Structure 1
Amino acid sequence: MLRRRTLVYVSVVLVVGWLTFLTISTGRAPDPGAASPHELAETFERSLRDRDAETLGRMIDLPFSEQAAFAEGYLEELSRVDASEISVALDGGQPPSVSVRVATGDGRTIEYRQRIGSSGDRWKISLVPAL
């Protein structure tokens, strides 16, 4: 009987400890997006250069559950083309966007615009094309 009570007690302590850990670690997660368009462009460029899927995912305007998979796929594509030089510049036009320039391993340069938008006071990369 004592053994069973000890087992129950240890199990409860482990579950409470695990839930406490999850609560604390989730509460420390940085806010998604960036505080300004300029900060967004800088963070986007750094996450592409460093192949940082976690940071890139937080910059994308997607539900949290889809951010990691999208960011990993985006970075895999950069690896596939052997992207060596990556630059991101904030465009001043409307709708607001960033220009991305990628030098590939075979000597090509790929350039594209990525639309950005704000939700409240946070800016994110939008997946709506910047036409």
Structure 2
Amino acid sequence: MTTDTELRGELLAELHRLRRAVPELTGCLVASTDGLLIVDDAETVVVEGVAALAAACLGVSQRIADSAGHEDFQEVLISSTGGHVAMYLAGNGAVLVLLAGAEANVARLHHEARRSIAVVSRVVATAALTFSQALPEPARW
């Protein structure tokens, strides 16, 4: 059985790969869709706050897409004079958040993030399976 530490290590390795592939990234993290931080590779940012806000933004964005009659919500990009925040739905229950400087190539950011979503989705699904296998059997009366 894969341990929690091994799964977090796999996620962290993917975040490190992203930072190497897109040097303009100032941070990246994976959070649950409930807003809890799972793992991060970020500097100078309160990652727990970003995780919570990203989950809230993702939830609102999904509802907007649903209300507009669009299916299969995927991502949100926030651009400001200071840079970009990109959030991607990663499987069932996780969000990948990328923080980048204003000079970042957004197309490259999306391209690399979409590669990472497959890894994050797989690891999060494995973690959910591992967790469910670790639960004690219900009492039989």
- Structure 2 length-normalised TM: 0.30
Query: Which structure has more RCO (C-alpha within 8 Å, separation ≥ 6)?
Result: 2
Largest Rg, 1 or 2: 1
